[in-house]
């Protein structure tokens, strides 16, 4: 009887252990199946979505600098932007080639309105296609716009006020003044003001603006240049 009892105990312990191991294996398999169903976004997709907007902003910044230095040559400004974006594409393709995600630029354009007008702007528009289909992701076709718009120029006796906002979002912005010209001559004594809601003021000392025939102010926001030019002699 003693031997039979021992066998029974031994068998039941072994069976219990076997069942426990089996349970652990089933649980483990379930976890593996669940993990395999998790969607992992491929690195090239993350990289394109994260970094392209930065590159796009820099391309507009460089383009506006080229536009200013080339006496408003739009072709030169565009080519500066293209060169930068192409360089970004080259780097992107170099490191992510063959990983199932491709990036295409469908449309890219920079635009500047700096001359006599009621609106002045420096902006860029780009249509980008991020094709992740080979990696199991649908195609992302996105149009990105970025830039600054200046409007509502008000000329007072010794001050000029303008309102500035972001081209894409309409968020008011504070501009930095780089250069002021009155009647074609550079003015050195000026003070910059910001009144909130995008209203930027440039107070000019020792020069009355009452009889000014032209005003030109070069502003900067996050490296992007925008020139506001108003010719009063041309007005009726």
Partner 1 sequence: MRRGQIYLIGAVASIGFLIMFTVIAFSFLRLQGGSTSMDVLFKKGISALKSMASSGALEDYLSSGDDEPVRIILETILPPQTYYCLTIEDQNSIYNLESFEPESTIQYVYTSSFLNRTYVITLKLAVRK
- Which parts of this chain interact with partner 1 (CB under 8 A)? 3-4, 7-8, 10-11, 14-15, 17-18, 21-22, 24-25, 28-29, 31-32, 35, 40, 43, 46-47, 50-51, 54-55, 57-58, 61-62, 84, 87-88, 91-92, 94-96, 222-223
Q: How far is the CB of 78 from partner 1 (least distance, A)?
A: 17
CA-based max dimension of the chain:
123
CA–CA separation, 194 and 202 (whole Å): 9
Cross-strand pairs, 13: none
The nearer residue to partner 1, 50 or 157, going by C-beta atoms, is: 50
Query: To the nearest 10°, the Cα dihedral for 190, 196, 199, 203?
Result: -20
Residue 85 class from Cβ within 10 Å (0-12 exposed, 13-18 middle, 19+ buried)? buried
Q: Where are the alpha helices (DSSP H) in 159-201?
A: none
* Complete DSSP assignment for 146-204: EEEEEEEEEE-SSEEEEEEEETTT--B---EEEEEEETTEEE--EEEEEEETTEEEEEE
């Amino acid at each position: 009887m003693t031997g039979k009892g021992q066998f029974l105990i031994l068998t039941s312990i072994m069976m219990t252990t076997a069942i426990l191991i089996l349970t652990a294996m089933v649980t483990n398999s379930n976890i593996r199946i669940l993990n395999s169903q998790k969607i992992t976004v491929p690195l090239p997709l993350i990289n394109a979505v994260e970094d392209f907007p930065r590159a796009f902003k820099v391309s507009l910044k460089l383009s506006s600098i080229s536009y200013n230095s080339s006496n408003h040559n739009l072709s030169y400004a565009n080519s500066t932007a293209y060169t930068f974006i192409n360089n970004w594409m080259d780097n992107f393709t170099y490191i992510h080639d063959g990983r199932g995600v491709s990036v295409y630029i469908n449309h890219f354009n920079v635009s500047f309105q700096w001359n006599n007008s009621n609106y002045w702007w420096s902006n860029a528009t780009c249509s980008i296609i991020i094709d992740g289909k080979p990696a199991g992701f649908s195609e992302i076709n996105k149009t990105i716009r970025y830039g600054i718009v200046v409007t509502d120029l008000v000329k007072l006796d010794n001050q000029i006020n303008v309102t500035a906002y972001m081209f894409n979002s309409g968020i008011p912005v504070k501009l930095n003044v780089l250069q002021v010209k009155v009647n074609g001559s550079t003015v050195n004594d000026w003070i910059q003001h910001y009144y909130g809601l995008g209203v930027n003021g440039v107070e000019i000392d020792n020069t009355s603006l009452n009889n000014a025939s032209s005003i030109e102010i070069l502003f900067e926001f996050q490296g992007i240049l925008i020139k506001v030019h108003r010719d009063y002699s041309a007005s009726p």
